[in-house]
Amino acid sequence: MARKRRIALAGVPQHVIQRGNNRQACFYSEMDYRFYLDSLKKAADKFNCAVHAYVLMTNHVHLLVTEQAQYGISQMMQSVGRRYVRYINNTCQRTGTLWEGRYKSSLVQDEHYLLTCYRYIELNPVRAMMVEAPGDYKWSSYHFNAYGRCDEIISPHKQYQALGKDKEQCRHQYRELFRYHVDDDLLHDIRDSLNHGWPLGNERFKEEIEHTLQRRVRPGKSGRPRAEEREKSYGVY
């Protein structure tokens, strides 16, 4: 069976997740986390990708990234994955796969949803009950986004920059967003979008993506659509 095509557009942010094989650990020491972040920085620069947020969990990774050219994120993830697997196999004297197949991703609408994705990613350790607050977890972008700690990986998105008139106000307003957890409905939408590769956004956003890509990017209605409906939505092939 052919692999499902990814839904990707240059200039549109993507929420990316990659898990360890069988959900087993993919980080074993502090050096491992540092090596992964170094690999991510190199690959993001090489393939012209802007990383807005990240969290490295014990057995998986979340990233929020915008590619500036087609296939940028795919090339970035391949580069990071291969380099990191070689490092782990050499360091731990192991062989075989480390990652659970292909990474998963979903396009994210700038308005309304992007900052929610920031929060979803950086609150991961809190939801996993590893820490009480996002600032207590070492391996995430929260320290840069909330407090401005040096992190050469991060490129702030325009929606983040619009939070305030200067960097300090942006950081303050960003911290305020974390006074509340992401509600259950949004959690479901984010996870559902990732699992199926669907865009995360409102109906207008999804329609725009479908029009641009000339393909369906959301669940279809039950039953076979009528020919005129297909022509109206996707054009005639």
Q: How do beta strands 60-67 and 104-107 pair?
A: unpaired
Average pLDDT of the residues in 9-18: 96
Q: Which amino acid belongs to residue 147?
A: Y
pTM metric for this prediction: 0.89
Chain-wide mean pLDDT for the chain?
A: 90
Band (116; pLDDT cuts 50, 70, 90): very high
Q: What is the pLDDT of residues 209-227, one digit of tens each?
A: 999 988 888 886 544 544 4
pLDDT in tens, 123-136: 999 999 999 999 99
> In the chain, what are the domain boundaries?
13-215
Looking at residue 228, what is its pLDDT? 43
Share of the chain above pLDDT 70, in %: 91
d(CA 17, CA 63): 6
Instruction: Count the alpha carbons within 13 Å of 18 in the hemisphere toward its beta carbon.
Output: 25
CATH code for the structural domain at 13-215: 3.30.70.1290
